[in-house]
Amino acid sequence: MAIDGVAGERDREWRAALHAWQPPHKAGDWAGPTMWRLLRSAVDEPVLRALFPWTSMNELHVSTTGDFRDYRSESFPAVAASAGGFVVMAHPWGLAHVVLETWDPAAASACMARLTEGRSADPQNEQ
């Protein structure tokens, strides 16, 4: 992990996200263990690791700025975690834009990375 500059900021955000979802989890908590598995897979994807992570409820998102409020202008995919597995959604997120449903957090992370490669933060610049 880099420790200086923007890469250092991104690494700190990934560490913070991992820390927030790490075990131990309370009995009956399905979101904690599922998000933990997803984050551990996502952090190993260089394309995702180059961006800032943020979580919302049971979803993993990435951002170029580190400000989750920019989500409307960034066309990156997201992954929703549930007790039934993982759902990768293209932007704008929602059930109408599901790309993959899987039990495997590594497959969800790889799909998210593949959809993220070469994307601009500005959906108007997408081709």
Residues 6+ apart with CB under 8 A from 14: 39, 43, 49, 53
C-alpha 89/C-alpha 78 separation (Å) is 5
14 is a domain residue: yes
How many domains is the chain built from?
1
Model confidence at 2, in pLDDT bands (50, 70, 90)?
A: very low
pTM: 0.86
Question: Does position 122 have pLDDT exceeding 80, yes or no?
Answer: no
Residue 57 lies in a domain: yes
Question: Which is more confidently placed, 89 or 6?
Answer: 89
- Say yes or no to pLDDT of 10 above 60: yes
Q: What angle do CA 56, 59, 62 make, to 5 degrees?
A: 85
Tell me which residue range forms the domain holding 107.
Answer: 5-118
Please indicate, yes or no, if residue 124 is contained in any of the structural domains: no
Is 75 within a domain? yes
Q: How deeply is 78 buried, as exposed, middle or buried, from its count of CB atoms within 10 A (0-12, 13-18, 19+)? A: buried
Cis before residue 92, ω within 30 degrees of 0? yes
Does residue 15 lie within any of the structural domains? yes
pLDDT at 124: 44
